[in-house]
Amino acid sequence: MARVYNFSAGPAMLPEAVLERARTEMLDWQGSGMSVMEMSHRGKEFMSIATRAEADLRELMAIPANYKVLFLQGGASSQFAMVPMNLLGAAGRADYVNTGAWSKKAIAEARRYGTVNIAASSEAEKFNTVPAFDAWQLDSGAAYVHYTPNETIGGVEFHWVPDTGTVPLVADMSSTILSRPVDVSRYGIIYAGAQKNIGPAGLTVVIVREDLLAEPLAGTPTMFDYRTHADNESMYNTPPTYGWYLAGLVFEWIKDLGGLEAMGAINQRKAGKLYAAIDGSDFYANPVDPACRSWMNVPFTLANPELDATFLSEAKSEGLVTLKGHRSVGGMRASIYNAMPEEGVDALVAFMAEFERKHG
Ligand code: PMP
């Protein structure tokens, strides 16, 4: 068996230890005589898996007791709608920060339900930075402030948390959740699609402060009302059981590694090595302001784009795959989420140096 280093932005690598454990438990989960996929979501076996996963996530992120953790479907993209539907309320307006492609999608969706004020944007800087907080034009009457702490395509990350006072802060943490410690109490809602740092696609985690669970906009479908899921332990309907189980295995894996402090140190080191390789050469470039470079998604270009295809094919033959940049930006992108081993980053850095030597 030859597993590759997969730099996909998502679905992304899962920890090998998690896949091994899932394989061991595939046909017969802990003496139940069935796989997790075949279990009733209301049976005691799955209930124990679900409860354990939530407890471990709460412990990892130190989630305060006044927050609900929801295990949903529909991806982060459904949250682009669920957030405004549930939070806009009487105010009818919200502040959004535009730092790139994913912010824009959240903004476009929110506009269907209310008034969106763009409190800050880095569009004029080609999304290569995040807007300085002192220039944000926040509306004290906004129902919430939404931002994207890590832009998966642009490779731009906030290394600080905006202080929005009493206005709830909502974060699309899809591509940064669990990559480092986070003070959950600073947020009203944190949401994330699972397929980067949590588990397989099909599961969406939402962490919501209880006082924000209120009457949604008229006409909101039952499944889009946070209260439906909060009141039913995410079991109003059939939840994505296998994804929930695998997420639980990932949470255990992070705990065994030392939790989010340890994870953050590893991620910072991995990213540091890759940016150093890019910055140390005229052959490679990354356009992002060094103060807001992502620890998770590292876009880079070759000085000669005619070599892109050769780069990708030679990398692939070294077991370094899915390095092609997003179709909207071209070049390369190395996504180095939690499950990418440090050896994978080392192998990429070594390959890049060798490629430059051969073709530079
Ligand atoms: N937000 C961000 C920051 C993302 O990276 C992605 C997926 N790449 C999404 C939202 C959309 O997530 P999903 O595919 O789960 O709807």
β-strands 204-209, 67-72 pairing: antiparallel
- CB count within 10 Å of CB 308 equals 17
Q: In this structure, what token pair is assigned to residue 337?
A: 């989420």
Any domain includes 3 = no
Same domain, 100 and 162: yes
Task: Write down which residue in 237, 257, 277 finishes a domain.
Answer: 257
* Phi-psi category of residue 84: left, alpha or beta, with phi > 0 → left and psi -120 to 50 → alpha: alpha
Whether cis (ω within 30° of 0) applies to the bond prior to 11 is: yes
- Confirm whether 102 is a catalytic residue: yes
Provide the ipTM.
Answer: 0.99
* In a shared domain, residues 239 and 316: no
Alpha-carbon span 333 to 107, nearest angstrom: 24
Domain total for the chain?
A: 2
160 part of the active site: no
% of the chain beyond a pLDDT of 90: 98
Asked if the structure places residue 274 within a domain, the reply is yes
Q: Is the pLDDT of residue 1 over 70?
A: no
Quick one: average pLDDT of 176-201?
Answer: 98
Please name the residue ranges forming H helices in the chain. 16-24, 44-61, 75-87, 101-110, 226-230, 241-257, 259-279, 308-317, 342-359
User: Where does a domain end: 222, 257, 292?
Assistant: 257
- Angle at which helix 259-279 crosses helix 241-257, to 10 degrees, equals 80
CATH code where residue 264 lies: 3.90.1150.10
Q: Ligand 1: distance of its center to the CA of 68 in Å?
A: 21
Q: What is the pLDDT of residue 360?
A: 86
Choosing from 136, 172, 244, 295, which is the catalytic residue?
Answer: 172
The answer on pLDDT for 256 being more than 90 is yes
Residue type, 157: E
Domain limits for position 85 = 17-257
pLDDT digits (tens, 9 = 90+) for 289-333: 999 999 999 999 999 999 999 999 999 999 999 999 998 888 999
The catalytic position among 56, 68, 95, 102 is: 102
Q: Encode pLDDT of 43-78 as tens digits.
A: 999 999 999 999 999 999 999 999 999 999 999 999
Mean residue pLDDT across the chain:
97
pLDDT of residue 328: 86
Q: Can you give the CATH number for the domain in which 104 is found?
A: 3.40.640.10
Return d(Cα 247, Cα 197) in angstroms, integer: 9
Residues 263 and 218 in one domain: no
